Homo-oligomer: A and B are copies of this chain.
Amino acid sequence: MSIEAPDSGAEPALTTIRDQVERGRPEDVAALLARLRPADRAWLLLRLPHQRRQEVLERLPAAAVADALDHLTHAEACLVATGVADPRLANILDSAETEVAAGVLRHLPPETAGRVLEDMQQAEAVTPLLQYHPESAGSLMMPVLIALPASIRARDAINYLRRTRPNPEVIYHLFVVDAERRLIGMLTLPNLVLADPWRTIGELMEPGPVYATTHTDREDVARLLQRYDLVALPVVDEERHLLGVITADEVADIVSAEATEDMYRMVGLVEEQVFSPFWISVRNRLPWLCVNLATAFLAAAVVAVYQSSIATAVVLAVFLPVIASQGSNAGAQTLTILVRGLALGEIRIQDTWRALAKEVGLGLVNGMAIGLVTAVVAIAWVGNPTLGLVVGAAMVLSMVFAAFGGVLVPLTLHLLRVDPALASVIFVTTVTDVLGFLVYLGLASLFLPGLSR
């Protein structure tokens, strides 16, 4: 079954199949999935309800499942793999690339992983990979089995490749090593093929290639591959011995995962999908909701301080949500730009003052525009010019505070070596609510005689 992508990509076709897959007999579905491309099989398996997935996985050949796992992120592959009984899973992971097997095992509960690993034939190849941090280059790399010496000629290199029959996917880029297998250069397959057959690899290679070590963070791996438009990034140990390679098709997954992580963290979410199990979602979200509750009480305390002013002029309560909402929206705009700018490497700590100056300036200008409108609406609505002036002035200041919060919260988190996205929306909203209310109700109390008239 070949998917010939129409205008909008391959989805319409897959969506049709998906309905069949959700309704058909498990035997038929397994037969259908086995005939699909591995990537499509993976896509569909990932989207099946858990129960159905189990039924289908039981009936698919181990190699077909292994090929599919290769097209998923490690977390996704693990989700699919948990639909399989332990002894069968060992079988499946034996058919998969070592890097995929290690990725799945790293995401399983430790005791399950231990049991599965015991039953695996390639346990010895997989075990060393399990030591790497899941977000490090070590855990993303595929082992490099082919490395060329600098001394041989291009035609001999090509003949060597033909004789050793490597996995075609790992020879887009070829690595050149010295006698101790230390990385000294890189050569793309196109350049090897197009070269004069009599020239040596040492002459053809690009010396001093960009590389990562096993400890390099996946975010930096993605950045290196992206910045240098590499098809493959070599991974070396501390002595620069060539260990593995990370191919460019990982980059998009990393970039996407990092963006999701940032978006989630900003609102206090942990890794979660739409259809993650219910109690996991409860456990993930409740802690930050509690933090938010605590910070909300701070804002409430400010209002409590000014209760007597509100008792004198109840209309003050009406504009509380306007100040709060506008401050938090302006703060969220600044914050989003800063968090994304930090993630993409567009801003550094040294840029703090420049960013602050610009955002505070923007807060002032936008604040004056919004403050003017608010003042006019307040005067027209309530008919009290003093109230209008107080609300308008508080609005300007509240948007300036939002700019300070939006810049300083993520940069402070960054300086503290915490992810600048972490619950940052909650912190910025606290700043804007507390300071916004203080200014608004404080000003109002000063002009109270004019307000209660």
Q: Which residues of B contact A6 (CB under 8 A)?
A: 213
Interface residues of A, count at CB 8 A: 140
With known contacts A251-B252, A355-B274, A333–B215 Cβ distance under 8 A: no
A329 and chain B: residue at smallest CB distance? B292
With known contacts A229-B249, A373-B293, A329–B161 Cβ distance under 8 A: no
Does A426 reach chain B (CB closer than 8 Å)?
A: yes
Does A311 reach chain B (CB closer than 8 Å)?
A: yes
Q: Spot the interface stretch: A96-104, A112-120, A218-226.
A: A218-226
Q: Which residues of B contact A172 (CB under 8 A)?
A: 172, 189-190, 231
Q: Which residues of B contact A438 (CB under 8 A)?
A: none
Shortest beta-carbon contacts, A-B, top 4? A259-B259, A9-B220, A168-B190, A2-B208
Does A433 reach chain B (CB closer than 8 Å)?
A: yes
Bound state CA distance, A263 and B6, in angstroms?
28
Q: Spot the interface stretch: A27-35, A51-59, A86-94, A313-321.
A: A313-321
Does A179 reach chain B (CB closer than 8 Å)?
A: no
Q: Which residues of B contact A161 (CB under 8 A)?
A: 193-194
Bound state CA distance, A15 and B345, in angstroms?
11
With known contacts A2-B207, A5-B210, A249–B274 Cβ distance under 8 A: no
Interface centre among A162, A273, A317, A344, by most chain B C-beta atoms within 10 angstroms, is: A317
Given contacts A7-B213, A293-B370, 4 further A-B contacts (CB under 8 A): A71-B228, A289-B329, A314-B314, A321-B433
With known contacts A274-B346, A310-B310, A326-B289, A224–B9 Cβ distance under 8 A: yes
Bound state CA distance, A269 and B333, in angstroms?
7
Q: Which residues of B contact A158 (CB under 8 A)?
A: 193
Q: Which residues of B contact A168 (CB under 8 A)?
A: 188, 190-191, 194
Q: Which residues of B contact A286 (CB under 8 A)?
A: 366, 369-370
Q: What is A's interface to B at a CB cutoff of 8 Å?
A: 2-11, 15, 37, 39-40, 43, 47, 71, 158, 161-162, 165-166, 168-169, 171-172, 188-191, 193-194, 207-208, 210-213, 215-217, 220-231, 248-249, 251-253, 255-256, 259-260, 262-264, 266-269, 272-275, 278, 281-282, 285-286, 288-290, 292-293, 295-297, 299-300, 303-304, 307-308, 310-311, 314-322, 324-326, 328-330, 332-333, 336-341, 344-348, 351, 354-355, 358, 361-362, 365-366, 369-370, 373-374, 377, 425-426, 429, 433, 437
Do B336 and A321 have beta carbons less than 8 Å apart?
no
Bound state CA distance, A340 and B267, in angstroms?
13
Do B256 and A329 have beta carbons less than 8 Å apart?
no
Do A320 and B322 have beta carbons less than 8 Å apart?
no
Bound state CA distance, A109 and B310, in angstroms?
53
Do B224 and A10 have beta carbons less than 8 Å apart?
yes
Do B274 and A11 have beta carbons less than 8 Å apart?
no
With known contacts A252-B225, A346-B273, A10–B210 Cβ distance under 8 A: yes
Bound state CA distance, A275 and B314, in angstroms?
42
Do B318 and A314 have beta carbons less than 8 Å apart?
no
Bound state CA distance, A346 and B328, in angstroms?
29
Bound state CA distance, A193 and B158, in angstroms?
8
Do B333 and A321 have beta carbons less than 8 Å apart?
no
Bound state CA distance, A310 and B317, in angstroms?
8
User: Taking the nearest CB of chain B, how far is it from the CB of A407, in angstroms?
Assistant: 9
Bound state CA distance, A190 and B171, in angstroms?
6
Q: Which residue of B10, B15, B269 is within 8 Å of A337 (Cβ)?
A: B269
Q: Which residues of B contact A329 (CB under 8 A)?
A: 267-268, 288-289, 292, 425-426, 429
A351 and chain B: residue at smallest CB distance? B274
Bound state CA distance, A339 and B433, in angstroms?
26
Do A300 and B322 have beta carbons less than 8 Å apart?
yes
User: Taking the nearest CB of chain B, how far is it from the CB of A332, in angstroms?
Assistant: 4
User: Taking the nearest CB of chain B, how far is it from the CB of A159, in angstroms?
Assistant: 10
Do B212 and A190 have beta carbons less than 8 Å apart?
no
Q: Which residues of B contact A369 (CB under 8 A)?
A: 286
A167 and chain B: residue at smallest CB distance? B190
